Structure 1
Amino acid sequence: MKWVLSHINPIQGNENPTFDDMKYAIDIDEKWFYLNPDKRRLYLLPSEEDPYMAQQSRRFKLKAMFMAIIKKPLYGRNGELLHDGKYGIFPFTQKERAKKSSKNRPGGTMVTKPLQNVNREAIRDMLINKVIPAVVEKWLESLPKNVVIQWDNARPHQIPRDEEFIAATQAHGFNIEFVFQPAQSPDLNVLDLGLFRSIQSLQYQSFPKNVDELVEKVIEYYNNFKPEVKKYIWVTLQSCMIKILKAKGGNKYKIPHMNKKKLENLGILPNQIEVDRSIVLEAVEYLNTMFRPAPQGNHEAETEDTEVDAD
């Protein structure tokens, strides 16, 4: 609830407040993309052969982890697109020489292998060599260079802030800060709210046969993701934040649907959603009640007297 309230503009008079524009915040997250789903449903003509694809084991499905970077798209006063908010999606893979020959390639050929243990060192290397350079390269010059990158507080994200890392975040006049979302809050990251599922669905339709094709298709569908669709995810994010306040910080709610495409066609899709001021005030009062300090002094004395009388 504190996280949500920190993204709401102050209440002015009797008006309903709005969420801040979040145009300086970048969301990053990781996801495993599998080569194929567990099951597929295909419709075939009587003359068509059944498709066949073999895998070595169901227990060890071929997969690769990707780190995606995304930001709210920016538009000019006349509605022209200034920045699509895409900074890249990067796979955790490495090149190795094949130890043995096979029908697909001779021994010694360089092959792509996914990293199966994405630990703190791998995350740190990805941030320094891929994520931060991509942000510096594609950041709009008209925007201040104070950048907030938010992600969840998974244990591998607790990387050390050594001199090399700090220097990377402050290079070229930037001040890049990493902040952590509250624990167990997937609905507060726009990547979990839409982008990852969309890429995964399209990637399954492409039938990749190896890691190289998997990487190629995931990057292709990330690049083809439409900015106007990505804009909808931020509206959904703000709607989820309101639901979280109503649920007193819980997750017992359904992700709201607003017919955003229809609202945009009518020209009434909001960029910043209004929040009923009563919801905000109730949330603040609830937090004040939860964290109000217990009475001291006379209360302890009365408790001790009661215990003595009972004995």
Structure 2
Amino acid sequence: MLRFLVRRTLGAVVILLFISAFTFFLFFAIPHDPALLSCGKNCTPDNLKTIHHNLGLDHPVPVQYYLFMVRIFTGHHFAAGNCPAPCFGYSFANSEPVWPTLIDRLPTTLSLALGSMVVFLLFGLGTGMLAAWRRGSAVDKVLSSASLVLSSMQIYFVGPLVLALLVYNNHILDQPKYVPLTQNPVHWFSGLIIPWCVLSILFTANYTRMARSTMIEQLQEEHVRTARAKGMSGAYVFFRYAWRGSLIPIVTILGIDLGSLLGGAMITEWTFQLTGLGRLAIDSVTKTDLPMLMGVMLFSSAMIVLFNILVDAVYAFIDPRIRLS
């Protein structure tokens, strides 16, 4: 296990380096001077030259990338202030430190991701198991058809529709907003219930189809048929043998989905005006804010890579037939 984790960690470092380099150099392919964000309307060539120097934009792009990666671990003193490690620099747009901004936005994205995960796992796995249990019946056909319809829904369509029906016209639910859980748990729940449900629609459909197909496949395995031949009840065989064997592909996509959600559900946060990492990523792209964009990209990529490593490590505990070498 230790050798496996070390090998995967080294591979993750290489992946993150590649992503960071690709994002950094792609940014400078855009025909735009980021120093203009800080220069203001009455910008003079001397002021622009000073800003270039303060932001480190007067160095060649490879040197800038090298300094950026080194300063993540060592920190640096910028004109805007001291930046301790982990240091992603200061925003070009508002001169705010990147890392504290990421930490400040993280609770919103974390609440959105974990809450929606609970919803789509409950409904997705529940309906998928029910469809597999009643394979070929009317219940199976209805659930399978519903999952196909839901999988075609998009957040930017469903979100405004739900807001119009439940918030603006009928006033059944409150306007979505983020309230810290420690401040008011009731308002935290009521403010995120609509984003949770809307974000979960597409995931629920995917997990329904995945759970159904893997459960049906497991029910055809020899060890399941053997358990039935021994006289075990159908429910016991279903949950004791087939269900556990079907978890491998479900855990795989869950690790990828959860890592992506923690990196920022961009469309959902933009639709419901939630100030999380996804909204921050969109703002940094529109404002050509390289330090903030790099911070969000590296954090999001690290979450996806981390959860993939954890998923691979969990495999051996779910299925004893799998060994990590």
Q: Verify same fold: TM over 0.5.
A: no
Instruction: Return the structure number with greater helix share.
Output: 2
The normalised TM-score by structure 1 is 0.26
Q: TM-score, normalised by structure 2?
A: 0.25
